[in-house]
Structures are given as structure tokens and as C-alpha cells.
Amino acid sequence: MNKNLMGRVWDFLGLVEDEDAWNPPPASTAADVHSPSSGNVRLLSPKTPDSHPVSSVLRTEVPSMPREHLAVPLGVETEVLQVDGFQDCPHLTSWYKAGVPVMLDLRSLPAETAQGVVYYATGLTSYNQGQVSQVGDGLVLVTPPGASVSQSEKARLAKIGMWRSSTGI
């Protein structure tokens, strides 16, 4: 066995194919099988195709679930967050992770701080395809993926001054 350095490395890493690896093991015969010495073991015989016939049934209709068991999406109420500064960003994050749309009221903030909070919300939604949309002057809606604001919720928000009526109620 005169192997060069690379041959020995390949052999060490297990990258060399053995000729015996591809040969199937010899078939066992009845003489090779030993009966168990303990009474706790029972031998299983291999199943033959005729031992347990399988019947197949052709279904003509698709099974359906009763209507009372179907899941109905509930109207999620939007959380309104009066933002006083960056210290409110963790509240936005927790509501967003819970799957609740959040209305940010940025009207009392200086423009630079409001812009920073909007940048934070944009970064929060960018990792999982959420949405950030301006729905009024100083009002920003942050919507998690899979959540939506219903028409009745938009009407409720418009009634409390948190939704512009011209934005599609």
C-alpha cells in the first residue's frame, strides 16, 4: 500500500471508495438464523402479498368539513398608539409581533422624531413583508403580514379622527 500524501488524506477523510462497499451482503439462509435462547423474543415471519389483502375504495366526492367547524377570521381591532418618542417603539414591536395592526399618531412629535419612528416602523416591517402606510397627516398605519383593516374598523378609526375619509372607507 504505497499511497501518496493526497491518497492518505482522502483515505483518512473517508473519501476513498471501498470495492466492498458496493457489494450486497450475502443472503442469509435458514441455517444462518438462530432461534432465540430467551422466551421473551418471538420471531416474525415476513408478510406475503396474499396474507393481508388490501382493498381500495374509489371515492367519487371530496370529504368536506361541517360548516360549524370552519375557522372564521375575526375582525382585529387596530391598536392606536399615541407616540411621544422613541420610547414607544417597543410597544409598537410587541403589538406588531402579536399580529395586531397599529395606528401611530405622530401629530404631537417634531418632524425629525416622527420621521425616525416611521423609519423604525419601516425596518420592523421589512423583515416579513408587513406594510407601513400613511393614512392621514401624522397618522401611519403599521400592518403585520396576514392582517388587514376591515371597512368597519376604518369607519371606527374615522369616527375618532384616526382615518381620513377619502382613503377608501
Say how far apart CA 150 and CA 144 lie, in whole Å.
14
105 has a pLDDT exceeding 80: yes
- The arithmetic mean of pLDDT across residues 108-133, rounded, is 92
- List the beta strands (DSSP E) in 2-153: 79-82, 102-105, 131-136, 139-143
71 has a pLDDT exceeding 50: no
Helix (H, G, I), strand (E, B) or coil at 131: strand
Mean pLDDT of the chain: 78
Residue 140's nearest CA partner among 129, 130, 152 is 130
Say how far apart CA 146 and CA 76 lie, in whole Å.
11
Other CB atoms within a 10 A radius of the CB of residue 106 amount to 21
**156-165 residue pLDDT tens:** 889 988 888 6
pLDDT band of residue 10 (cuts 50, 70, 90) is confident
* Residue 27 pLDDT: 67
67 has a pLDDT exceeding 60: no
For 7, the enclosing helix (H) or strand (E) is helix 5-13
148 has a pLDDT exceeding 90: no
* Residue 49 pLDDT: 60
φ and ψ at residue 82, rounded to 5 degrees? -80, 105
CA distances for 7 relative to 19, 21, 127, 166, angstroms: 16, 18, 48, 76
Other CB atoms within a 10 A radius of the CB of residue 164 amount to 16
Cβ–Cβ < 8 Å for 151, 169:
yes
| pTM over cut 0.85 | no
118 has a pLDDT exceeding 80: yes
- The arithmetic mean of pLDDT across residues 103-121, rounded, is 94
- Tallying the residues shown for the chain, one arrives at 169
**11-66 residue pLDDT tens:** 777 776 665 555 666 666 665 666 666 667 777 776 666 655 556 666 666 666 56
Give residue 103's Cα distance to chain centre: 25
Please report, rounded to a whole number, the percentage of residues in the chain having pLDDT higher than 70.
Answer: 62
Domain ranges of the chain: 79-167
* Residue 122 pLDDT: 94
Helix (H, G, I), strand (E, B) or coil at 133: strand
Q: Which fold has domain 79-167?
A: Translation Initiation Factor IF3 (3.30.110)
